[in-house]
Amino acid sequence: MQDIIISKSNEKVKFIKSLNEKKNRIKNNCYYLEGIKVILEVINRVKAVDIVSIAYSDYILNSVKDGLKTLNIIKKFCNNNNIQILNFSKEVFTYITDTVTPQGILAVIKIPKYSDEKIKNIIKNEKERNNNILILDKVQDLGNLGTIVRCANAFNVNIILCMEGTADIYSPKAIRSTMASILKTNIIYFKYESDIIKELKNNGYTIVSTVLDDNSVSLEKLEISKKYAFIMGNEANGISTELKNSSDIFVKIPMSNSVESLNVALATGIILYKQFKNK
């Protein structure tokens, strides 16, 4: 029987707890996901993710539907794949996470790294699949960010390019909002000075800024046959001048005059759904 870790001073406890802070996620190049359905998704995608360890509380899992059944699956998986598994007391597990009612299981995962060559290959692959791409320009709200990742996953957008200054998708709150969609999406942070926009254009992508402006065309008038990289702007300030200047076209969502603008996550969902439906 595996020993239960009961001390909050345990090094493994302190390590996972530290991942609630961005500076420690960057330092250790790790984040964690939690919840039964999410962890089952993680082990089903073992070839696509780099799992550092899995931690659980059998006391909490015992009170959750399918908790012990899931635990048996996880233990077998960890043994077969030589992955560290940790058993925490209820008190220690709830201390680690910032979830009000945790389900008693989490996985620590390495944050993917993207070299310039890997980014080029990913964009090329999306071009061949005729898939659209999403660019986020300093989106700040973690709930919005997580919802956008889910929308992208729902509508066949596999690449999200995040301009420097965009909130951290690996924050626990953002991760929870993605509902495991983060495992299926390439999320790449970049600086404007990089060649990513140029690379998109070289691969035939039309760069589209979502702007409420008299010069913007209606979403309904976009040519379905083209490949688009849609830029979604900051909640307060919209799209930066640099990215506007790099855009090929401005687009807006038709709506009544009674509303000034839409939430960025909602607007993203509408745009991606419209393109998905028509392709």
Q: pLDDT tens digit string along 189-246?
A: 998 878 999 999 999 999 999 998 888 999 999 887 899 999 999 999 999 999 999 9
Q: Render pLDDT for 137-183 as a digit per residue (tens, 0 to 9).
A: 999 999 999 999 999 999 999 999 999 999 999 999 999 999 889 99
249 DSSP β-pair partners: 208
Burial 160-198 (b: 16+ CB within 10 A, else e): bbbbeebbbbbbbbbbbbbbbbbbebbbbbbeeebebbe
Domains, the chain = 11-110 (3.30.1330.30), 116-278 (3.40.1280.10)
Angle of CA points 198, 202, 205, to nearest 5°: 90
Q: Which segments of the chain are extended strands (E)? A: 30-34, 51-56, 84-87, 105-110, 133-136, 159-163, 186-190, 205-210, 217-218, 227-232, 249-252
- Specify the range with the lowest mean pLDDT, choosing from 124-128, 238-242, 255-259: 255-259
